[in-house]
Structure 1
């Protein structure tokens, strides 16, 4: 009697390597063909592997696209996390954080429009990856505000609520819908004007 075939198990470390290859191929397809042409089968064909192999890492097209968006967002967050971790004036860091976020989104519209469009579609669907991104943005801003309170720069009772207000006040400069509609126009001067009001609120305790 013939023994059943033993399932193929990827060597330790190989699974994450294959996952990264899949994500890189999916990104490339998104850039060249958009969301419609970034299915599990298309990615498998580009990598010359079976679609079953892709499915071992991503259960569906939606999960694959969300993972691409998550990796894209991770790159955006890297310089923002660095600003949060710095020492120095909370007001200066907070303004630079917002400016950096807006600049990152503008750059994506201008230099990576296809992938930005894919992220925008994911954002419109309000999927978990976007919710996690928004939570991290709030955590970043709240951490800077909390530091500002400890330094005596801000008068804020609830840093998380104030962080929500800051992101809402500046959303038209970094929200994917507004950035897309503006065509990546440089809004730095407008951000500075809005931020004067934001800082006034943080310093007076009205935010």
Structure 2
């Protein structure tokens, strides 16, 4: 059987496994290469440095959320329904990541700190999706906003408790779903055209 082609995607998958196993402080490019059965030079041909590899794996992890939510943001439902579904989808995705694999989530928190530019691009993508929903709502007469991008940033900030990883410890507490619904209802009421 011929060996599987070494691709950036395979390297990123292996990197995630290595990070899960060893943690961010001990995981090395050599560990990734060993897991793939290749030389570390082969990994460096795709990612020029350990920092570039760690940034790419962080970007991949954050990008999964973009993909999940872009379908909601670009959907055909009224803007209010899409906004609520988008916020709920973001909260669900973050909870799933934090609760489904806590060790990997903690690892990604370390990587996100190292790659603040990647995190900022992630946030800008998310705010862009929110701005698109707000713009559609304004166009359709459902929402009022003079500056959809500013409104989108305010929505992001107002819902931080439900997506900012620093609040992950609260996401499984009793009453969190009710608190989330209350915030969504308040935000939607504030956006509605009179």
Per the normalisation by structure 2, the TM-score is: 0.90
Query: What is the root-mean-square deviation in Å for CA atoms of aligned residues?
Result: 1.8
Partner residue, 1:182:
170
CA distance in 1 between partners of 2:15 and 2:111 (Å): 15
Per the normalisation by structure 1, the TM-score is: 0.85
1:41 aligns with 2:48: no
CA distance in 2 between partners of 1:126 and 1:171 (Å): 20
**Of 57, 63, 69, which aligns to 2:58?**
69
Question: Deviations along 1:78-107, whole A, 9 cap, x unmatched?
Answer: 220000111121111101101110110101
Q: Tell me whether 183-192 or 37-46 shows the greater mean CA deviation.
A: 183-192
1:163 aligns with 2:152: yes
SS in structure 2 opposite 1:77?
helix
Find the structure with the greater CA-based Rg.
1
Instruction: Give 1:122 shift.
Output: 2.6
CA distance in 2 between partners of 1:177 and 1:104 (Å): 15
CA distance in 1 between partners of 2:187 and 2:117 (Å): 29
CA distance in 1 between partners of 2:177 and 2:60 (Å): 26
Question: Deviations along 1:6-53, whole A, 9 cap, x unmatched?
Answer: xxxxxxxx5xx5212211111111122211232111111222211111
Structure 2's unaligned 5+ residue stretches are none
Contact kept? 2:58, 2:112, Cα under 8 Å:
no
Partner residue, 1:152:
141
Partner residue, 2:111:
122
Instruction: Give 1:185 shift.
Output: 4.1
CA distance in 2 between partners of 1:38 and 1:183 (Å): 29
CA distance in 2 between partners of 1:106 and 1:40 (Å): 29
Partner residue, 1:92:
81
Partner residue, 2:20:
31
Instruction: Give 1:151 shift.
Output: 0.9
**Of 47, 55, 61, which aligns to 2:44?**
55
CA distance in 2 between partners of 1:126 and 1:21 (Å): 21
1:141 aligns with 2:141: no
Partner residue, 1:78:
67
Structure 1's unaligned 5+ residue stretches are 1-13
Contact kept? 2:84, 2:184, Cα under 8 Å:
yes
CA distance in 2 between partners of 1:98 and 1:67 (Å): 25
1:21 aligns with 2:10: yes
Question: Deviations along 1:85-139, whole A, 9 cap, x unmatched?
Answer: 1112111110110111011010111112222112212333352211110010000
